[in-house]
A and B are shown apart, each in its own frame.
Chain A
Amino acid sequence: MAEKQRKQRSSDREGDTSDRVETEVAANSEEIAERIDDLLEEIDSVLEENAEEFVKNYVQKGGQ
Chain B
Amino acid sequence: MALRKVLGTETEFGITVLNQPGFNPIVASSAVVNSYPGNASRIRWSFDEESPGRDLRGTEVRTAAVAEPDAGLVNTVLTNGARLYVDHAHPEYSSPECSDPRTAALYDKAGERVMVAAVGAAQKLLGQDERMVVHKNNSDGKGNSYGAHENYLISRLTPFGDIVRDLTPFFVTRQVFTGAGKVGAENGRPRVGFQLTQRADFFEEQVGLETTLKRPIINTRDEPHADASRYRRLHVIIGDANLSEVQTFLKLGTTALVLDAIEDGAFDRTIDITDPVHALWTVSHDPTLSVAFETGDGKRCTALDVQWRYFETVSRHARRIGVAPVWEDLIDEWEQVLADLERDPMETADRLDWTAKLRILEGYRRRDDLAWNHPKLRLLDLQYHDVDPNRSLYQRLVDRGAMRRLFDDAEVAAAVFDPPCDTRAFFRGSCVRRFPEALVAANWDSLIFDVGEESLKRVPMMEPLKGTSRHVAELLEASPDAAAMVRALGGNDG
Contacts and interface: CB of A to CB of B under 8 A. Distances in A.
Interface of A: 2, 5-6, 9-10, 12-13, 35-37, 39-40, 42-43, 46-48, 51-52, 54-64
Given A9-B342, A51-B375, A60-B25, 11 more contacts: A37-B367, A39-B396, A40-B364, A43-B360, A43-B380, A48-B379, A58-B382, A60-B89, A64-B12, A64-B149, A64-B211
B480 to A, nearest CB: 42
B359 A43 contact: no
Contact of B379 (A10, A13, A39, A55): A55
B252 interface: no
Give the 10 A-B CB pairs with smallest separation, nearest first.
A63-B146, A61-B89, A64-B147, A60-B140, A51-B379, A64-B211, A63-B88, A51-B376, A51-B375, A52-B375
A58 B383 contact: no
Contacts of A13: 342-343
Interface stretch (B266-274, B331-339, B433-441, B461-469): B331-339
Contact of A55 (B87, B382, B390): B382
A9 B379 CA distance: 37
Contacts of A51: 375-376, 378-379
Contacts of A12: 343
A40 B360 contact: yes
B315 A2 contact: yes
Given A6-B339, A39-B400, A39-B402, A54 B379 contact: yes
Interface in B83-100: 87-90
A64 B376 contact: no
A46 B390 CA distance: 8
Residue in A51, A54, A58 with the greatest tally of chain B CB atoms within 10 Å: A58
A46 B139 CA distance: 22
A62 B378 contact: no
Interface residues of B, number: 48
Contacts, number: 115
A10 B85 CA distance: 47
A64 B146 contact: yes
A39 B350 CA distance: 14
17 contacts: A2-B332, A10-B342, A13-B343, A40-B363, A42-B396, A42-B400, A43-B380, A48-B383, A54-B375, A56-B375, A58-B16, A60-B90, A62-B146, A63-B147, A64-B87, A64-B88, A64-B212
B391 interface: yes
Interface string B359-394: 110011001000000011011101100000011010
Contacts of A47: 376, 379-380, 383
Contacts of A36: 359, 363
A63 B87 contact: yes
A63 B12 contact: yes
Interface of B: 12, 14-16, 18, 25, 87-90, 139-142, 144-147, 149, 211-212, 237, 315, 331-332, 335, 339, 342-343, 359-360, 363-364, 367, 375-376, 378-380, 382-383, 390-391, 393, 396-397, 400, 402
B396 A2 contact: no
Contacts of A37: 363, 367
Residue in A6, A13, A37 with the greatest tally of chain B CB atoms within 10 Å: A6
A61 B90 contact: yes
Contact of A40 (B140, B367, B382, B391): B367
Nearest to B137: A60
Contact of A58 (B140, B149, B396, B402): B140
Given A36-B363, A40-B360, A47-B379, A63 B343 contact: no
B14 A60 contact: yes
A8 to B, nearest CB: 9
B378 A9 contact: no
B383 to A, nearest CB: 6
A63 B147 CA distance: 6
B210 to A, nearest CB: 9
A40 B378 CA distance: 15
Nearest to A46: B391
Residue in A13, A56, A60 with the greatest tally of chain B CB atoms within 10 Å: A60
B378 A55 contact: yes
A39 B360 contact: yes
Contacts of A52: 375
Contacts of B400: 39, 42
A63 B86 CA distance: 11
A39 B356 CA distance: 12
Contacts of B315: 2
Given A2-B335, A58-B16, A64-B88, A9 B147 contact: no
B146 A43 contact: no
A38 to B, nearest CB: 9
Nearest to A53: B375
Contacts of A58: 14, 16, 140-142, 382
B335 A63 contact: no
